[in-house]
Amino acid sequence: KGAVYRGTKPVHWCTHCHTALAEAEIEYHDVTSMAIFVRFELTSVPEGLEAYVGKTWVDIWTTTPWTLPADEAVILHPEATYVALELSDGHVEIVAEALAQKCAEKFGYDSYTLAKDSSGNTWKKTGVELAGNTYKQPIFGEQGREGAFIYADYVTLDDGTGVVHSAPGHGVDDYNAGVRFDIPQTMPVDDDGHFFTGEGPGTGGPFSGMEVNEANPVIVEWLRERGVLILAEDITHSYPHCWRCKNPVIFRATSQWFVSMDKINLRQEALDELSKVAFYPANAVKRIGSMVEGRPDWCISRQRNWGVPIPAYTCEDCGETIINDDTLDAVIKLFREKGSDAWFTDDPASYLGDACTCPQCGGHHLKANKDILDVWWDSGVSHTAVCKHRPELRFPADMYLEGSDQHRGWFMSSLMTSVGAYDMAPYKAVVSQGFTLDGQGRKMSKSLGNVIDPNKVCAERGADVLRLWVASVDTSNDVPCDDAILAQVGDAYRRFRNTIRFLLGELEGQFNPATDAVPVAKLTAYDRLVLARMCEVHDVVTEAYEGYRFNNVFRVLYDYIIELSNGYLNATKDRMYCDAADAESRRCAQTVWAEILSMLVHDLQPILVYTTDEAMEFLPESLREGQKFAALLDWYQAPLTHLEYEKLLPAYQVLSDARAVYTKAYETALEAGEITEKTTQATRAEVVLPAEAFQCVNDADVDFAEVFVCSAVTVSEGTELAVSVFLADGERCDRCWNWRNLGEDHLCHRCHEAVAQSTIE
């Protein structure tokens, strides 16, 4: 498609590793550098400053003094206004008007005025109006070298002078501005980061042979001796470092292979494809989108001794770079037979055949280039090497999952190679994760001694506790972890485990869902409402799983088991323990308990894999679906549709609200001494409900006494929810502890019948 080209452009260059680096191979660290303000002498006269011929300077600011030997231009903001500070010795210095006062104070210019033009007005020009003027280059100016005034939007007025020195060979922005104004590109620095030896442009001049960072203070002193250094100061700023050797890198123009972002409209097509991808978290699309919008052409070549070679040749007769369909076919055949190492060992003439001919000069002496591909290209084409080459897989992939740092790494390189080759994104969804920090929010490192070994956690607490911790936090961000946090998660884990264990224990040997389950239509009103709530929880959990919001899964299920323990499971113990073994009411409760157990095993399985497998050993046979492992179960099928359970939820909510008010009223009465019995069964309650709520539960025909775990409840209609608690009538049944009118055996009628039946059996 013509998107790949070879060119000389400034790229991140590691002088230690001797290779170009892509943005994804860069780490940024704060460093302290020397920033300098320098005056450059003009060799032209800006319109309006004719009275200051030979006395006009422009003040520039730079944080990289070592780039001054490569200076070719000064850049101004096109729309900013510039003025000239007239000093006591009669010379003038051009700075941005917005920074004039700040500069004068910083430079110690106690007495200055703003220069006037020939009409007596304060001289002012915009960056556009000053373009085209010239100045003596700071290092080679005495040799007649001149630089030019140009402009670019990236110049800011936040700091400095509003004028920046430009070395197109040492910066992408400077390079782009230089291309626009046809500014030459000078490169005085070699692969090792040392200045070339010589006396003129393209060398280090007076700094020949010096390493660029070592040259910084020498250059500053050299400028000071010549009276052009205005000020030098240390500043702290973020600076790029090599991800491998951790050393600072430089921008350096070298001959490399690039993928153009705009020649075949790759940038816009990539942005268009991103809009079709589901990102988790959703705002991640803005992050990678802004990177695509602002990224330069992709430098895909590296200068290393290992890696996948770029299959290009150089004609030794004329210097032409050669890569075409014929040479590529030969290389593919070579790699299939011998592997990619053959590129570095075999003579091109031995495998190219007729393709070993230069199309430019007809020569037959081709030399294999030694550049290798960016490793991000290697990983970025996994959509082809893996998905497209394996029939059991499909393209695009359903989902890519990696750390949040991969928006500029694997996610980016995969997107670019796929859109470039196939005009579509390689993924339907992208899930990005944060990183694990210690309990104080610090990055884990051996030197700090704060690394948490997951193997140790698994050995001490169990793998499911570690998995539950992962599910309990928002993994889209960096998350802290330490022993105290894991201990809290351990408490939550025991809640889940004990709930499942309790349900299993109560059902084992007593209930067979295949033969004993009660149809939904025949369940008690309370059972149906609880079943509706369970179906709602399952749907919320399913939606959270599908959105990769595992912390929502944890929170919803954790809150639900607490809700169950305090509510339904506690309320139905009376039926489970005191009704006759085969009573319809008891079978109703067992039916719902079994559904809840099945739902919990299904919904917790992706997180608590070992615990749910353990539960599978004790599940009723009909709930196991013929499987040994929980992971092999089909996803849980709720007994009620969304439409069915949605109609029941309002009544469930009324019950929950009323129960909460009852509990508070009971505790208040107990503290006040109005009730001396410390069991809720010893109470009766009077409930007042607003009209809508009253109608809701009246239609449902719910037994409030069971919900409250008390002996009797009367419900009436009123203006607002209220519950009054009193001592129950009658006496306490010795078996169920409910207060009733008792027989001679001190049992209520229900318990008397249950005991009689069990005696007969």
C-alpha 272: how far from chain center: 20
Q: Residue 464, exposed/middle/buried by CB under 10 A (0-12, 13-18, 19+)? A: buried
Instruction: Return the number of other C-beta atoms located less than 10 Å from residue 353's C-beta.
Output: 13
Whether residue 367 contacts residue 348, with contact meaning beta carbons closer than 8 Å, is answered with yes
Helix, strand or coil for residue 144? coil
Examine the domain organization and report whether 562 and 604 are in the same domain. yes
Assess whether the previous peptide bond of 620 is cis (omega < 30° from 0). no
Q: Give the pLDDT band (50/70/90) at residue 760.
A: low
Structure tokens at 477: 């961000």
Structure tokens at 656: 């929950």
Q: What's the domain range around 531?
A: 488-640
Residue closest to 694 by CA, chosen among 748, 650, 641? 650
Examine the domain organization and report whether 679 and 579 are in the same domain. no
Reported as a single tens digit per residue, the pLDDT across 446-503 is 878 888 889 999 999 999 999 999 999 999 999 999 999 999 999 999 999 999 999 9
The dihedral built from the CA positions of residue 619, 625, 627 and 632, taken in this order, carries a sign that is: negative
Q: CB neighbours of 561 closer than 8 A, spacing ≥ 6?
A: 495, 496, 499, 600
Reported as a single tens digit per residue, the pLDDT across 275-334 is 999 999 999 999 999 999 988 899 899 988 888 999 999 999 998 999 999 999 999 999
Examine the domain organization and report whether 505 and 562 are in the same domain. yes
| β 134-136/26-41 pair status | unpaired
Examine the domain organization and report whether 708 and 601 are in the same domain. no
In-domain check, residue 439: no
End-to-end CA distance of the chain: 86
Whether residue 606 contacts residue 600, with contact meaning beta carbons closer than 8 Å, is answered with no
Three-state secondary structure readout of 61-84: EECCHHHHHHCCEEEECCCCEEEE
Examine the domain organization and report whether 614 and 659 are in the same domain. no
In-domain check, residue 678: yes
Q: Give the pLDDT band (50/70/90) at residue 624.
A: confident
In-domain check, residue 751: no
Examine the domain organization and report whether 126 and 207 are in the same domain. yes
Task: Return d(Cα 182, Cα 187) in angstroms, integer.
Answer: 16
Whether residue 157 contacts residue 99, with contact meaning beta carbons closer than 8 Å, is answered with yes
| Per-residue pLDDT, 759 | 62
Whether residue 387 contacts residue 396, with contact meaning beta carbons closer than 8 Å, is answered with yes
DSSP code of 110? -
CATH of the domain at 624: 1.10.730.10
C-alpha 662: how far from chain center: 46
| Per-residue pLDDT, 761 | 52
Whether residue 465 contacts residue 489, with contact meaning beta carbons closer than 8 Å, is answered with yes
Q: Give the pLDDT band (50/70/90) at residue 152.
A: very high
Helix, strand or coil for residue 750? helix
Examine the domain organization and report whether 71 and 173 are in the same domain. yes
The dihedral built from the CA positions of residue 728, 730, 731 and 732, taken in this order, carries a sign that is: negative
Examine the domain organization and report whether 591 and 668 are in the same domain. no
Mean pLDDT of 685-702: 89
| Per-residue pLDDT, 159 | 87
pLDDT at 337 over 70: yes
Helix, strand or coil for residue 93? strand
Examine the domain organization and report whether 86 and 232 are in the same domain. yes
CATH of the domain at 396: 3.40.50.620
Whether residue 40 contacts residue 135, with contact meaning beta carbons closer than 8 Å, is answered with yes
Examine the domain organization and report whether 315 and 414 are in the same domain. yes
In-domain check, residue 482: no
Examine the domain organization and report whether 360 and 280 are in the same domain. yes
Reported as a single tens digit per residue, the pLDDT across 180-215 is 999 998 899 999 999 999 988 889 899 999 999 999
The model's pTM is 0.77
Structure tokens at 239: 């600076």
In-domain check, residue 745: no
Examine the domain organization and report whether 218 and 287 are in the same domain. no
Task: Return d(Cα 128, Cα 61) in angstroms, integer.
Answer: 19
Instruction: Return the number of other C-beta atoms located less than 10 Å from residue 9's C-beta.
Output: 22
In-domain check, residue 8: no
In-domain check, residue 625: yes
Structure tokens at 101: 């006062």
In-domain check, residue 566: yes
Query: In this prediction, what percent of the chain has a pLDDT beyond 90?
Result: 75
Instruction: Return the number of other C-beta atoms located less than 10 Å from residue 639's C-beta.
Output: 21
Q: Which residues pair with 688 in a beta bridge?
A: 716, 722
Reported as a single tens digit per residue, the pLDDT across 81-105 is 999 999 988 999 999 999 999 999 9
Q: What is the dihedral of CA 411, 412, 418, 423, to 10 degrees?
A: 120
DSSP letters, 299-362, are E-EE--SSSPBP--EEETTT--EE--HHHHHHHHHHHHHH-TTHHHHS-THHHHGGG-S-TTT-
Structure tokens at 618: 């004790």
Residues in the chain: 761
pLDDT at 715 over 90: yes
Residue closest to 202 by CA, chosen among 214, 185, 217, 218? 185
Q: How many structural domains are present in the chain?
A: 4
Structure tokens at 296: 């330069």
Residue closest to 39 by CA, chosen among 57, 65, 56, 63? 57
| β 313-315/321-322 pair status | antiparallel
